[in-house]
Structure 1
Amino acid sequence: MADNGSFFSSNTDASSTTTTAKLRNVLSHPLTGALAQTLLSVIMMGFTKPRSMLRLAFFPLIVLIAIAHYRTTTFHSWGAVASGLFQAYVSCYPVYYSHYVLFRRFAFDAGGPSSSHSFTSNNKHNDKSRSNNTSNADTEVRRGSAWSRLLFGLKVHSYCRYPTTPYEVPNCPHWSDTDESYAPSRSVYLLRTIALVVSSLLFMDFQMAFKGLDPNAPVPRGFEVSFFSRLGDLTMTMVAERLLITPIIWISMATGVQIIYSVCGLLFVCLGFSEPRQCPPLYGQLSDLYSVRNFWGTVWHQLIRRFYNDPAIFLAHDVLGLPATGLTQRYFKIFVTFFVSGFAHALGDAAARNVSWAESGCVRFFCTQTVGIIIEDGVQEIWRRIYGGVDGHGIGLQKGQKPGSKSIASKRPRPAVWKRVVGFLWVWAFLAWTTPSWFYPIMSHKRAELERAFPWSVGERVLGVQRKI
C-alpha cells in the first residue's frame, strides 16, 4: 500500500509540475503579454471614468510587460515582417496606452475622447477642445452592457485613424477624392483587399528571396551613413546606389505595413466588426509627394500620428505653456513628435534586429526630418514674399485667407506641375541623404533566421534559394 501510495503521489507531483510549467510558459509567452496589454487598454476605456486614477495606476504594468518581452526570440521563425512588427507592437505599447487611456482619455461614458491631449491639465487648451457631450463624463454614467463597453474599447483600439468619426486623423485618405461619403461594397472591398494582400506578399517574398542569392553580400558603400564628409571619395556609382536603395527601402516598409493593415481589415469586415468605409486606403496620393511635410503628413500612413503627437502637445502647452500659435510651438511640437517616433522605432529595431542604442541612428534620422521641414518652409516663405500666392506650406491663398485656415486645409490646391517635380526631387534627395542613418546599422546586422519575410517562401522555390530559417 505504501508503494502504491508513493507511486500515485509521484504521478500526481509530476503532473502538477508539468501543469505548472505549461501555465508558466503560457503566462510568459509574448502573445499573452500583447493580449494583456490590449485587454488592459480596452477595459480602461470601457469601464473606467476618463480621470480615474486606475488608468495611471496600470501604466507601470504596461511598461513591465513591454520590458519582459523586449528582444524576445519567440517569433523569429515567423519571418522578418511578422516578427519585427509584433516586437515593435509589444515594445512600444506604453506609447499607445498613453494615447488611448491617458492623453486622449477615451471612455465609454464620454462616448469618445474626453480630452484633446492631457491627462492632468485643466488648462484652456483642453477646455476648448472638449466637446459638450463629454464635459461631464466623469460624473455621468452611460447605460451599457459589459459587452457594449468591451466593444467600444475594441473599436477605439482598432481604428488608429478614427475614420468616419468627428475626431478623424488629419489627412486620412478616403475612397474617393470627390465624394468622402463613398465606400466600396463589401464584396468589392474584400476582392480588392485580397488581391492587394496577395500581390504584397509576393513582392515581399521575392524581394527577400532575391537577397538570399547572395546572403553574404556587403552593404553597398554608397549607402554608408556619411555623405558630405566624404564627397571627395564618392563616385557616381555610389550616389546611384544611395538614390536607388532608398526608395526600395521605403516601398518595402510601406508594403509590410500594408499587409498587416489589409489582413486586419479583411478580418474585421468578414466578421462584421467593421464596414469598408471604416477601413479607408492606408496611404495618400503620390501626387502630393512634393515636400517632406507632405511625405510624413499626407502620403505616408497616419496610423500612429496621434500616438507620437500627444507627448509633443502635452509638453508644449501643458508643461511649457507655449501659445497655441506661433513658429516656436509649431517646430517644437514637430521636433518632439519625431523624437518620440525615433525613440519608439529604435526600440523596435533593437528588439527585432539587435541594433544597440550606440549603433542606432533611428532617433537621428527622425529628428533630422524636422530640419528638412524647416528648410522647405523657409524656402516657400521666401518664395511667397517675393512672388506671392502661396503660404509656407505651398498651398494657394485666396484674398482674406490666413495660412492654416480650415478652408485651405480642406481644399489644398496643388502647386504647378514643375513645382511638384522639383519638390519630388527634393524629397527624394533628402530621404536619400537621411535614410542610411536609420537603415545602414540594420542592414549591417544580418541574422539568418530573419532573412525570410515570412515562415514560408514561394520566391525561394522559384529562384532556387537554399536557406535555413
Structure 2
Amino acid sequence: MTIQTAGMPPPPWAIPALQWLLVQLVTGLTVALAPAHSPARPIAAVAVVALAASVQQHAIQQAFAGIRVGGPIVAMCWVNVLNAFDLLLLSRASHDAQVAWEAKKTREKTAHRSLFHRVVWGVNTMFNYRRIDTPWQIDQLPPFDAADAAYVPSRLRYVGLAAVKVVFALVAVQMFTVEADEMYVADSVAMLPTDVRTVLLPGWGEGAARRLLVQGLFTVSFGVICRAAILAGYSSYAMLVVALGFYEPVEWPPIAGSLTEAWTLRRLWSRSWHQIFRQTVVSNGNFIASTLGIPPSSAWACYIRLAFAFAVSGLVHLGMDLAFGVPLGQSGAMYFFMLQAVGIIVENAFQYVFRDMVSKMSPGWRRALGYMWVVAFLLWTTPVWLNPLVHQLHRDGVQAFSPFLCFGSGSWVL
C-alpha cells in the first residue's frame, strides 16, 4: 500500500505557533529597522493585534481545544502584544537610540553595525522585558551586590554562582513537594476549601485550628516552590548563555531582589519579586491614565498602573492555572492578584493616616511590624489561588506542594 503524504494538511498547532512567532518577529524587525516615529510602527502594532487575536481563535477552537497548554500560550501572546505596544508606540525603542545611548555612555563613536546586527538586536530587545543595558532599562533592577551597585562578577564567577543557585533551587523544589499517594496527603487536601468566600472568610468551628495549620503549611510550601522554580529557570538559562559567551554577565542580573527587602507589600512586589513585566505594564498603565486625562505623577495614575499591573499578572497566571488543568471558573488567580492591589492601597492609606506614629518608630520596629503584615496578608490571600490548584494536582495524581514542609511524614500535622 502506498502512503500518500502530498497534500497532507499541517498539524493543527502549526498555524497558531507560526502566528505566535510572527508576533515577536514583526515587533523585533520593526523596532530594529523603523525610526522611532515611522508610520510603519502603528501598522506593525495593528498587525500584532490581529495575529494575537488569530492565535487565540485557533488555540481555543482548533489547535489546543481540550489541551492545557493553550491557556499560557494565549496569555503570553497578549502580554507580548502589550510589550509590542510599549516598544513600538510608547517607549518607541529604536536601534538608533540604542547606538546614541551607548556612544554617550562610553564616550566613543560606535562603529557602523550591519543589518544582521540590527535584526538580532531588535529580536533580542523584544524578549528583553526588563530592557537591561538599554536606555529603557527599568528602575529597581536588582544589583549583583547590594553593597556595591556597580559590581559585576567575572564570567567564571557568574557561571559558578548560577550553578549553585540552580542546585539549591532544585533541592528546595524536591524537598517541598510530595507525591499524591503519600500518607496523610489526601486528608490534608480535603481540608482545603475552594469556595472564594469560605477561603477568605473561614469559619471558627470545630477543627478550625487544624485547618488553618494545614492551610498555612501548604501556603509556605507553595511560596518556596514558586520562588525556587523562578530562580532555577532563570539561572539555568542565564548560566548557559553566559558560559557560551552569547551574553555578558552584566546582561543577566539577578531575577529578583532579596526577600529581606519585603517589609511592605509594595516593596515585596516592586523589589523582592521578579520585575519581568514591569516596563510593559507601567508604560501601558501610564498610557491608559493619559488617555483618561490623568497626569502620570498623580495618585490616581499610580492606582491605575497598580490595578493594570496586577490584572495582567492575574491573566497570565490564570493561563498557567488552565495549563495545570484548573477549570476556568475555579481558578483563583485573578482574585489573588487583584487582592494584592487592594492590599497595597490599604497599606498606603494606613501609612498616610498614621504617618506621625510610624515616623516615631525605630527602623527595626517598622521592619518587624512590616514583615508580620506582609506574611499575614499573604497567608490570608494566597489560598484563594492555591487551593483549586492543589485539588487539581491531587486529582491528577502528580507531585504537588507539601503540607508537611520539608519533612517527609505528615503524622506531626494530622
On whether the aligned pair clears a TM of 0.5, the verdict is yes
Is 1:358 the counterpart of 2:329 in the alignment?
Answer: yes
Mapped to 1, the partners of 2:100 and 2:227 lie a distance apart of: 29
Is 1:106 the counterpart of 2:75 in the alignment?
Answer: no
Mapped to 2, the partners of 1:70 and 1:195 lie a distance apart of: 40
In the TM superposition, what is the alpha-carbon distance from 1:178 to its structure 2 partner?
Answer: 2.5
3-state DSSP class of the match of 1:324? Answer: coil
Query: Pairwise mapping of residues 177-188 of structure 1 onto structure 2 (< 5 A)?
Result: 177-188=146-157
**Are the aligned partners of 1:368 and 1:434 in contact in 2 as well (CA < 8 Å)?**
yes
Identity of aligned residues (%): 24
Structure 1's 260 and 35: CA in aligned 2 closer, same or farther, altered over 3 A? Answer: farther
Structure 1's 278 and 40: CA in aligned 2 closer, same or farther, altered over 3 A? Answer: same
Structure 1 partner of 2:405: none
In the TM superposition, what is the alpha-carbon distance from 1:387 to its structure 2 partner?
Answer: 5.9
CA displacement, residues 266-321 of structure 1 (integer Å, 9 cap, x when unaligned) = 2321332211111111121122111111110111111112223333211111x201
Structure 1's 27 and 368: CA in aligned 2 closer, same or farther, altered over 3 A? Answer: closer
Is 1:64 the counterpart of 2:40 in the alignment?
Answer: no
**Are the aligned partners of 2:242 and 2:249 in contact in 1 as well (CA < 8 Å)?**
yes
> Residue 167 of structure 2: which of 183, 186, 198 is its match?
198
Structure 2 partner of 1:420: 367
Query: Pairwise mapping of residues 12-51 of structure 1 onto structure 2 (< 5 A)?
Result: 14-17=4-7, 20=8, 24-25=10-11, 28=14, 34-50=20-36, 51=39
> Residue 154 of structure 1: which of 114, 123, 135 is its match?
123
**Are the aligned partners of 1:353 and 1:442 in contact in 2 as well (CA < 8 Å)?**
yes
Structure 1's 276 and 89: CA in aligned 2 closer, same or farther, altered over 3 A? Answer: farther
Mapped to 1, the partners of 2:83 and 2:129 lie a distance apart of: 10
**What amino acid is aligned across from residue 44 of structure 2 in structure 1?**
L
Structure 1's 275 and 358: CA in aligned 2 closer, same or farther, altered over 3 A? Answer: same
Deviates more, 1:174-183 or 1:324-333: 324-333
Structure 2 partner of 1:91: 75
**Are the aligned partners of 1:174 and 1:281 in contact in 2 as well (CA < 8 Å)?**
yes
Mapped to 2, the partners of 1:34 and 1:449 lie a distance apart of: 29
Give unpaired runs (5+ residues) of structure 1.
1-9, 77-82, 115-132, 134-141, 391-414, 454-462, 464-469
Structure 1's 181 and 42: CA in aligned 2 closer, same or farther, altered over 3 A? Answer: same
**What amino acid is aligned across from residue 380 of structure 2 in structure 1?**
W
**What amino acid is aligned across from residue 184 of structure 1 in structure 2?**
P
**Are the aligned partners of 1:106 and 1:113 in contact in 2 as well (CA < 8 Å)?**
no
Structure 2 partner of 1:445: 392
Over aligned residues, Cα RMSD in angstroms?
3.5
Is 1:282 the counterpart of 2:247 in the alignment?
Answer: no
Query: Pairwise mapping of residues 119-138 of structure 1 onto structure 2 (< 5 A)?
Result: none
**Are the aligned partners of 1:67 and 1:91 in contact in 2 as well (CA < 8 Å)?**
no
Structure 2 partner of 1:168: 137
Structure 1's 153 and 452: CA in aligned 2 closer, same or farther, altered over 3 A? Answer: farther
Q: How many residues align?
A: 381
Mapped to 1, the partners of 2:262 and 2:357 lie a distance apart of: 24
3-state DSSP class of the match of 1:175? Answer: coil
Structure 1's 207 and 232: CA in aligned 2 closer, same or farther, altered over 3 A? Answer: closer
In the TM superposition, what is the alpha-carbon distance from 1:450 to its structure 2 partner?
Answer: 8.1
Structure 1's 156 and 176: CA in aligned 2 closer, same or farther, altered over 3 A? Answer: same
Give unpaired runs (5+ residues) of structure 2.
105-110, 401-407, 409-414
Is 1:241 the counterpart of 2:210 in the alignment?
Answer: no
**What amino acid is aligned across from residue 289 of structure 1 in structure 2?**
A
3-state DSSP class of the match of 1:44? Answer: helix
Mapped to 2, the partners of 1:66 and 1:270 lie a distance apart of: 37
**Are the aligned partners of 2:52 and 2:78 in contact in 1 as well (CA < 8 Å)?**
yes
In the TM superposition, what is the alpha-carbon distance from 1:416 to its structure 2 partner?
Answer: 1.6
Query: Pairwise mapping of residues 392-403 of structure 1 onto structure 2 (< 5 A)?
Result: none
> Residue 339 of structure 2: which of 368, 380, 398 is its match?
368
**What amino acid is aligned across from residue 419 of structure 1 in structure 2?**
R
Mapped to 1, the partners of 2:351 and 2:393 lie a distance apart of: 42
Structure 2 partner of 1:221: 191
**Are the aligned partners of 2:31 and 2:94 in contact in 1 as well (CA < 8 Å)?**
yes
Query: Pairwise mapping of residues 244-259 of structure 1 onto structure 2 (< 5 A)?
Result: 244-259=217-232
Mapped to 1, the partners of 2:11 and 2:83 lie a distance apart of: 30
Is 1:346 the counterpart of 2:346 in the alignment?
Answer: no
Query: Pairwise mapping of residues 399-410 of structure 1 onto structure 2 (< 5 A)?
Result: none
**What amino acid is aligned across from residue 24 of structure 2 in structure 1?**
T
Deviates more, 1:378-387 or 1:335-344: 378-387
TM-score normalised per structure 1: 0.71
In the TM superposition, what is the alpha-carbon distance from 1:212 to its structure 2 partner?
Answer: 4.9
**Are the aligned partners of 1:92 and 1:348 in contact in 2 as well (CA < 8 Å)?**
no
Is 1:325 the counterpart of 2:278 in the alignment?
Answer: no
**Are the aligned partners of 1:243 and 1:428 in contact in 2 as well (CA < 8 Å)?**
no
Structure 1's 296 and 228: CA in aligned 2 closer, same or farther, altered over 3 A? Answer: closer
CA displacement, residues 20-53 of structure 1 (integer Å, 9 cap, x when unaligned) = 45xx139618765554443333223223344421
In the TM superposition, what is the alpha-carbon distance from 1:431 to its structure 2 partner?
Answer: 0.9
Deviates more, 1:46-55 or 1:299-308: 46-55
**Are the aligned partners of 1:220 and 1:241 in contact in 2 as well (CA < 8 Å)?**
no
**Are the aligned partners of 2:16 and 2:54 in contact in 1 as well (CA < 8 Å)?**
no
Mapped to 1, the partners of 2:83 and 2:100 lie a distance apart of: 10
CA displacement, residues 102-147 of structure 1 (integer Å, 9 cap, x when unaligned) = 4433332443899xxxxxxxxxxxxxxxxxx9xxxxxxxx964331
Mapped to 1, the partners of 2:114 and 2:31 lie a distance apart of: 14
**What amino acid is aligned across from residue 98 of structure 2 in structure 1?**
G
Structure 1's 267 and 47: CA in aligned 2 closer, same or farther, altered over 3 A? Answer: farther
CA displacement, residues 143-193 of structure 1 (integer Å, 9 cap, x when unaligned) = 643311222123313432223444322211111122222111111111111
In the TM superposition, what is the alpha-carbon distance from 1:15 to its structure 2 partner?
Answer: 4.1
